[in-house]
């Protein structure tokens, strides 16, 4: 009778589970951090908008283009892209093999998702390492038109890489424990 009841249960799929203790803080911290990243990305988009509008006003109305606006927009777009990419990893909005795996058995889907997360961890570590090395090498060089160090252009690679690693590890933990990660924008 116990074997029948167990056999009739559906396959374990991720569910929204209420976690307690350390896991509650772990998933809660990542949810908070991803919302902060989204808010920073939106703020960055607004800064880019103001910089571009300032550039347009300076060029076409004042006939005197400010040099700092283009560099500022280029630097801020790196932050927007890296923070948004990290949130995409956490929320499962990354490029995946979902369409190929919809009909695959649960075990295949499980190991494919774990493999994808491990690949993201490797990519995030490489991105963080490369951003750190480049940022350190460019520490003493200034951006033309905007008097900030060029290392500010590589800081988002380091931060984004670390965030990708953190969120990919969270994805592995959630997948192993069959917990659904609630998207940041909910």
- The length of the chain is 186
With respect to residue 5, please indicate whether it lies within any of the assigned structural domains. no
Over its C-alpha atoms, the chain yields an Rg (Å, rounded) of 22
Domain that includes residue 105, residue range? 21-176
CA-CA distance, 42 to 107, in Å (whole number)? 38
- pLDDT tens-digit map of 119-143: 999 999 999 999 999 999 999 998 8
- pLDDT tens-digit map of 89-114: 998 876 665 667 777 888 888 898 89
With respect to residue 68, please indicate whether it lies within any of the assigned structural domains. yes
Position with higher pLDDT, 160 vs 144: 160
User: Which residue in 167, 125, 126, 171 sits closest to 34, CA to CA?
Assistant: 167
Q: Which residue's entry shows tokens 């933990």?
A: 173
The CA–CA distances, whole Å, from 143 to 71, 122, 137, 148 equal 7, 30, 14, 6
CA-CA distance, 68 to 43, in Å (whole number)? 18
With respect to residue 154, please indicate whether it lies within any of the assigned structural domains. yes
- Within a 10 A sphere around the Cβ of 27, how many other Cβ atoms? 19
With respect to residue 8, please indicate whether it lies within any of the assigned structural domains. no
User: Which residue in 92, 158, 100 sits closest to 129, CA to CA?
Assistant: 158
Q: Which residue's entry shows tokens 């560099």?
A: 71
With respect to residue 186, please indicate whether it lies within any of the assigned structural domains. no
DSSP state letters, 57-111: HHHHTSS---SHHHHHHHHHHHHHHHHHHHHHHHTT-S---HHHHTTS-HHHHHH
Total tally of structural domains belonging to the chain = 1
The CA–CA distances, whole Å, from 115 to 14, 91, 121, 161 equal 17, 17, 10, 18
pLDDT for the residue numbered 181: 83
CA-CA distance, 148 to 68, in Å (whole number)? 10
CA-CA distance, 68 to 51, in Å (whole number)? 9
Instruction: Give this prediction's pTM.
Output: 0.82
pLDDT for the residue numbered 94: 63
With respect to residue 111, please indicate whether it lies within any of the assigned structural domains. yes
pLDDT for the residue numbered 11: 45
């Amino acid at each position: 009778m116990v074997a029948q009841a167990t056999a009739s249960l559906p396959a374990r799929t991720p569910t929204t589970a209420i976690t307690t203790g350390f896991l509650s803080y772990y998933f809660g911290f990542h949810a908070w951090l991803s919302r902060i990243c989204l808010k920073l990305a939106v703020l960055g988009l607004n800064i880019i908008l103001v910089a571009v509008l300032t550039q347009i006003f300076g060029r076409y109305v004042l006939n005197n283009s400010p040099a700092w606006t283009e560099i500022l927009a280029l630097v801020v777009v790196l932050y927007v892209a890296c923070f948004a990419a990290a949130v995409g990893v956490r929320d499962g909005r990354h490029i995946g093999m979902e369409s190929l795996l919809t009909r695959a058995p649960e075990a295949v889907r499980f190991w494919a998702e774990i493999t994808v997360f491990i690949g993201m961890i490797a990519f995030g570590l490489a991105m963080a390492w490369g951003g750190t090395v480049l940022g350190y090498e460019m520490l003493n060089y200034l951006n033309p038109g905007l008097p900030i160090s060029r290392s500010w252009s590589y800081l988002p690679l380091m931060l984004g890489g670390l965030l990708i690693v953190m969120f990919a590890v969270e994805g592995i933990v959630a997948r192993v424990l069959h917990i659904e990660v609630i998207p940041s924008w909910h």
